[in-house]
Amino acid sequence: MIVLFLQIFTCFLFTTTTSSPHGFTIDLIHRRSNAYSSQVSDTQLGSPYANTVFDSSMYLMKLQVGTPPYEIEAVLDTGSELIWTQCLPCLHCYDQTAPIFDPSKSSTFKEKRCDTHDHSCPYEIVYNDKSYTKGTLATETVTIHSTSGEPFVMAETIIGCGRNNSVFSPSFSGIVGLNWGSLSLITQMGGAYPGLISYCFAGKGTSKINFGANAIVAGDGVVSTTMFVTTAKPGFYYLNLDAVSVGDTRIETLGTPFHALKGNIVIDSGSTYTYLPGSFCNLVREAVEYVVPAVRAADPMDNDMLCYYSDTIDIFPVITMHFSGGADLVLDKYNMYFELNRGGVFCLAIICNNPPQEAIFGNRAQNNFLVGYDSSSLLVSFSPTDCSALWN
């Protein structure tokens, strides 16, 4: 989820300790519905698989907070920074299905102290879908199960204790921020392999997210593109989109307002769809309209999506995303088109930003790619993968 507004009052330094500097894998759940380095040791493989749970269109990861450990399921979000969960007592919490975390029952929970009237450290985050969380910062033990069988323990990890949160699905316990920000999970991990993560999103079945040595994406068929850092939003993973092909028609970003030399689109696991700026997006839509032999349908979700009456996805053209450095991602039709629940209507999974906002490469488009982030080499790598079969 892209952050529209962020306010965190901080006046402290922090350190994070972990139980191991080596690679590990944690469970990831898809609620909607191969290549590893040869140097990875056998002790880093064989993590148990998570159960699959269908909900809306987000991927949740399991982790534990507190002592004794309390399990939460939170949105995996490369588009934000803070790790937060709903906390008791809650002034205005959304109706969460699972019990809400009670910090009074944890022996390691400690509120951060800042130079405010009550010495609390308040935060407020508003996301691009207008969902929001407000609360206070605290330090807490965060525990993740590793592939070696030994838990990966992060003592005194800074988290947000959300006590005023709205417009989230009841199945979400919160959000795990995974961008480059100082309060994100991967930054607070530290260790010998900072900034190395990878995940493989399946439309259904079990998925996982990897950290450290297990996160290296390499081998035949892998394409990589440069990751950019911007001064305006330094925590986001920006890529540069050179063009989009609809079938054999290639639409270049060069010559449009969308073109940028240092990153023009955010890769975001917390957004479902792909968002493109209006003028360029309309060119892509027109190319789809030109070749689809079907009758237009209204978008019942009121997102101004391009929709058609059809009983099959086969009538739609293949879409390819051309990222800088020759990273050409030929997307499966599932990545770019979806059938509405009522059936008989398919929509293009690209939303046109009018007026132009942040361009986003969402999680549906990333399905069935092993996606790796390496902040040391400033690369994002993609390996076409049957994600359902990878860990099943």
Q: Is 52 exposed, middle or buried (0-12, 13-18, 19+ CB in 10 A)?
A: middle
Category of 109 on φ-ψ map: left (φ > 0), alpha (ψ -120 to 50) or beta: beta
Q: Which two tokens stand for residue 123?
A: 């935060």
3-class secondary structure, 251: strand
Q: Which two tokens stand for residue 11?
A: 């006046």
Q: Which of 27, 77, 242, 374 is flagged as catalytic? A: 77
318's CB contacts (< 8 A; 6+ apart) are: 247, 330, 331, 333
Q: How far apart are CA 143 and CA 278, in angstroms?
A: 43
Category of 221 on φ-ψ map: left (φ > 0), alpha (ψ -120 to 50) or beta: left
CA distance between the termini of the chain = 28
Does the annotation count 129 as an active-site position? no
DSSP E strand stretches across 146-273: 151-166, 174-177, 196-200, 207-211, 223-226, 238-239, 241-246, 249-252, 265-267
Q: How far apart are CA 388 and CA 392, in angstroms?
A: 6
Q: How far is CA 290 from the centre of its chain?
A: 32
Residue type, 343: G
CB 392 within 8 A of CB 239: no
Q: How far apart are CA 288 and CA 28, in angstroms?
A: 33
Q: How far apart are CA 176 and CA 274, in angstroms?
A: 21
Q: Which of 268, 311, 314, 332 is flagged as catalytic? A: 268
Does the annotation count 268 as an active-site position? yes
Instruction: Give the active site residues.
Output: 77, 268
